Amino acid sequence: EVQLVESGGGLVQPGGSLRLSCAASGFTFSNYWMHWVRQAPGKGLVWVSRISKDGRSTSYADSVKGRFTISRDNAKNTLDLQMNSLRAEDTAVYYCARDLQYNLPDYWGQGTLVTVSS
Amino acid sequence: QSALTQPPSASGSPGQSVTISCTGTSGDIGGYNYVSWYQQHLGKAPKLIIYEVSKRPSGVPDRFSASKSGNTASLTVSGLQAEDEADYYCSSYAGSKNALFGGGTKLTVL
């Protein structure tokens, strides 16, 4: 069974940093591109970032470019999102998701809540 | 404003059918046969229910069907059940751009 379990969310002040992690199991992690997708309270899904199977290729939404860094450790089956210079508008549930094909996710984790507030 | 346009709400009575639309452009929905639909119950993670425009993953009831015409994709839920009440999101491959999501449609079973 495919499982994606996020962790690392919490309350952080504006300008602060947070590192999210996603532990993957039930599939061959190194065979899949992976995504981070976020959802602000009461709002829709917004794609944040994706990373290639080997970690060499990454891309970001314009809203987080230069502030967020996606990475992965295929030996540990983990996906990370380093978030710096956080803003109030980054407040959201962050989901880790596996890529099915063509940048479209299939399996999603349960999400981790990030709240940016003073 | 989301890149793909969905109606904010839809509703139907148990047993009825309801269709949710998702409108994009020739650069996304209209240009590729890679449209997915996700179901999200309140407080839960999204669940894939349709991929490649009209294919259903294993375990998804055949009450869920989908299609595409031009720049618009559609999801139809037939034989509505109370458990179908949820938010539904479309998503499309967009070539060199990253994947796009619709704004979501809240489906209410009356």
Pairing of strands B86-92, B72-77: unpaired
**Residue A53 burial class via C-beta count within 10 angstroms: exposed 0-12, middle 13-18, buried 19 and up:** middle
Residue of A nearest to B36 (CA): A104
Looking at residue B1, its pLDDT comes to 54
| Residue in A95, A104, A109 nearest the CB of B91 | A104
Pairing of strands A112-116, A10-12: parallel
Residue B96's alpha-carbon distances to A13, A15, B27, B37, B93, in angstroms, are 35, 31, 10, 21, 9
Residue of A nearest to B48 (CA): A106
Tens digit of each residue's pLDDT, chain B (110 residues):
568 999 999 999 999 999 999 999 999 999 999 999 999 999 999 999 999 999 999 999 999 999 999 999 999 999 999 999 999 999 999 987 788 899 999 999 99
Inspect the interface and report whether the beta carbons of A59 and B98 lie closer than 8 Å: yes
Inspect the interface and report whether the beta carbons of B36 and A104 lie closer than 8 Å: yes
| Residue in B38, B93, B102 nearest the CB of A102 | B93
